[in-house]
């Protein structure tokens, strides 16, 4: 991982380590990512509520408020519990075009109680979009996975 991304992780840690509230931490992380990673048009969170994903704190244009589990990049990453790195969102079947400028995307699922017992309000996804095709590689996947992990580690309880 490059020095810039390592510094970003340290900045994230400093920003959220003394704050246990998951909404406050999600809001600050969305802003930190959006303003410090180049070529992004959207960065934010969706949280699991009553069998769907509901929009949380973000930076960028207004977005879809509800995403069914298994739909779009977010719903698929959440259902499969795997990070998805999509080089060209137009090639992803079922992609939900909230912001028409999005060309590539990374979605990292997370859970506050481990990956096996998903309940309302204890899980969600970190979603990062770029207006540039193929913007995200292994370094970005590692960066966003580490940030999502840090988020869960530093924030207490449900969202
Ligand atoms: N593109 C996403 C929807 C969320 S917005 O990009 C913010 C998807 O297909 O899951």
Structure pTM?
A: 0.94
Q: Looking at residues 42-56, what average pLDDT do you find?
A: 95
Token code pair at residue 56: 């949380």
Q: What is the pLDDT of residue 116?
A: 57
Ligand 1 binding pocket (C-beta < 6 A) is: 42, 63-64, 67, 72-74, 95-96, 98-99, 102, 105, 127, 129
Strands 84-86 and 104-111: antiparallel
* Chain center to CA of 3: 21
- DSSP code, position 133: T
Domains present along the chain, CATH in parentheses = 3-158 (3.30.450.40)
What does the alpha-carbon distance between residue 74 and residue 106 come to, in Å, rounded to a whole number?
9
Token code pair at residue 16: 């959220």
Confidence class for position 99, pLDDT limits 50, 70, 90: confident
Å from CA of 27 to ligand 1 middle? 18
């Amino acid at each position: 991982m490059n020095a810039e991304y390592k510094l970003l992780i340290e900045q994230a840690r400093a920003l959220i380590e003394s704050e246990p509230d998951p909404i406050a931490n999600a809001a600050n992380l969305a802003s930190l990512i959006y303003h410090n990673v180049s070529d992004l048009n959207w960065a934010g969170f969706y949280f699991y509520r009553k069998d769907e994903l509901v929009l949380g704190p973000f930076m960028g244009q207004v977005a879809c408020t509800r995403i069914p589990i298994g739909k779009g990049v977010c719903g698929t990453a959440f259902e499969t519990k795997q990070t998805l790195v999509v080089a060209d969102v137009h090639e992803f079947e079922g992609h939900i075009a909230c912001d028409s400028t999005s060309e590539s995307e990374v979605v990292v699922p997370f859970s506050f109680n481990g990956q096996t017992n998903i309940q309302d309000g204890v899980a969600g996804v970190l979603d990062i979009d770029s207006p540039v095709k193929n913007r995200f590689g292994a370094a970005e996947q590692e960066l966003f996975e580490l940030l999502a992990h840090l988020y869960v580690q530093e924030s207490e309880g449900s969202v």
